[in-house]
Each structure stands twice: as C-alpha cells, then as structure tokens.
Amino acid sequence: MNNYLITIIGPTAIGKTALSIKLAQHFGCEIISCDSRQFFKEMSIGTAVPNPTELAAAKHHFIQNKSVFEPYSVGDFETEALAKLDELFKENNVQIMVGGSGLYVDAVLKGFDDFPDIEASVREEINAKYDVLGIAYLQNTLKELDSDYYNKLLSENPQTLQNPQRMKRFAEVCLGTGKPYSSFIGLRKNKRNFTPVVIGLEADREKMYERINLRVDLMLKEGLIEEARVLYPNKHLNALQTVGYRELFDYFDGKTTLDFAVEEIKKNTRRFAKRQITWFKRTENARWFDYQTDFSEIVQFTESQFSN
C-alpha cells in the first residue's frame, strides 16, 4: 500500500485544524473532517467549524454537508469517507483526516465489527424493561450473558456501563442471538487501501483547560447565544444534544441563569476533552506531540513513516 492517511487526533481546542491545514499545504493534499458536530450546516459557532480563511487555505470535505434534520450515522460517514478517499488518492497518495470524534476516526481507520440484525420485538422488550428497572437491568443482563465483556468494561471503560444506548445494544445482541456480545467482535476483517500515520496533539491539563475556556469565550463573542436561539425550537433533535447548545437550551427554558449556563459549557467541554483523551490514547501506533511542537519536527516524523 502506497497511500497514506495522515490522521490528526486530540482533544478539542488543541490546534488540530491549524496543523491539518499546514500539513495539507505542505503535501498539496485535501482534508477529510471527522468531527461529528461539524457535519451540520445549521451549526457553526458552537462546533468550531473552520472559518472562511481556513476553509480557503485547504480544501475540506464533510464540513457542514448535512442538515440536523437528516439522519446520519457513523456507518454512513464510514461509507462516504472511504469513497471520497478513493477519489482523492487517485490525485495524491497522501491525504489528511482530522477531528475529535473518536468513533468516527475508528470507523475510517479500521471499521466496525459485523453484528447480526436483531428482531424489533427484542429491542422493544428491552426498552420496556429499561423504563421500569433502569440502567441496572441492562448492566445485570450483560453481566449474566457476557461476563467477560462486562468485566472488561468495568476495568477499562466503566463510563460505558452508565450509557443506556450502548448498554441497550449489548443487551439486544446477547438476548437476540443467544450469544455473548463479545463473540462477534473481531470476526469481520475490514480492508483499507491506505496506511494510517496517526499524529496526536496534547498539552498539560492546565493549558488544555485554559485553551478550552478561551474558545468558549470566543464563541460567545462570535454569537453562540444567537445561534443556539435559532436552533432552540428543534432542541429535541439528536444532532443538538451536544455541549454548547444543551446548556443554553436550559437557559432559554428558564432552568438556569446565563452565567451558570456559560460555566456549564466550559465545565462540560473540559469533561468532553478528558473523554477524548481517554479514547484517543488507545489509538494504535499514534505518535503524540505537544501542541507547540515545531512544525518541521512533525513533518519529519510524518515523512519518516512513508516507505521508499
């Protein structure tokens, strides 16, 4: 394989966009965005979409190309992004992908395991029991039917055990197939026509939090409140269940003050960044750099990963 996908990962507000543009200019290539919040054309300020100058500096794909009213899954993105990369590699064997959505990065780099379809009646029964018994029902179901996977989550990713959507999925696969959820992991081999070169950006926690707080302040100056107010009538949409909008919707509902909402945005963005780091640190063969690392050093590393 002589195609290379330079993939830039890291927490929000760390400088991924700026680095991706410099690398795109250096290698004369284009950029695939895999930030699941930047897909939607109705959201720009609160999702830190690259500004017009940045978009003009290098060609981007998957930026504000969907509507919040359209269903769009990570599987849809995987299919579309791989098709776009096939096109781009015909012009240049080096391309760039950047974004903070770990699940979407994984979708492109390695794909997902192939799970069987589950009868709707199984899903309905699980939802009904969850409504009565809560998250404990889902946890106990996984613990009973796939104890190995339950224990793996408990030790490596305990927050997943508190995620109702993920836990419902685990339960429906176990109950719908009669087999452990983990028995389906790794069965499908997803082939890729490129070699990933993964660059992680990081900073010490204090600096990272400082950058996040400054970004939120900038978003507010640029009109985040007004943008959220326009979207408020559609606050039930899945695409809008995200940090920066959710807190302002509570303010519009009269549940909080504006000052409290702003502090919640900063706090929840910091928490989001911590989850991003936890996810991305598991990425195979990633090389991590301080966000202030000289550009030439990153280029040198990147080129060293290309075979002659």
Summarize pLDDT for 116-171 with one digit per residue, the tens. Answer: 888 889 999 999 999 999 999 999 999 999 999 999 999 888 888 998 889 999 99
Whether 95 and 195 map to the same domain: the answer is yes
**The domain boundary residue, chosen from 130, 150, 184:** 184
Give pLDDT tens digits for 69-123: 988 888 899 999 999 999 999 999 999 999 999 989 999 998 877 788 888 899 9
Distance CA 286, CA 273 (A): 18
SS3 at position 21: helix
Question: Is 178 marked as binding a ligand?
Answer: no
Q: Are residues 45 and 86 in the same domain?
A: yes
Same domain, 58 and 134: no
- Residue at which a domain ends, from 139, 162, 184: 184
Whether 22 shows a pLDDT value over 90: the answer reads yes
Residue 15 annotated as binding site: yes
**For residue 157, what pLDDT is reported?**
83
Residue 17 is assigned to a ligand binding site? yes
- Residue 295 binned pLDDT confidence (cut-offs 50, 70, 90): very high
The answer to whether the Cα torsion of 174, 179, 183, 185 is positive or negative is negative
Higher pLDDT, 84 or 186: 84
Q: 134: annotated binding-site residue?
A: no
Sign (positive or negative) of CA dihedral 228, 231, 232, 236:
negative
> Looking at the structure, do residues 154 and 241 belong to the same domain, yes or no?
no
Q: How many domains does the chain have?
A: 2
1 band by pLDDT with thresholds 50, 70 and 90: low
129 and 106 assigned to the same domain: no
29 and 175 in a common domain: no
Do 223 and 105 fall into the same domain? yes
The model's pTM:
0.80
> Any binding-site annotation on 16?
yes
Which residues of the chain form beta strands (DSSP E)? 4-9, 31-33, 60-61, 94-98, 195-202, 287-290
End-of-domain residue from the set 147, 169, 184: 184
What is the domain extent for residue 151?
120-184
pLDDT digits (tens, 9 = 90+) for 191-207: 899 999 999 999 999 99
189 annotated as belonging to a binding site for a ligand: no
pLDDT at 189: 67
Same domain, yes or no, for 222 and 295? yes
- CA–CA separation, 305 and 287 (whole Å): 11
Same domain for 106 and 222?
yes
The DSSP element (H or E) to which 9 belongs, if any, is strand 4-9
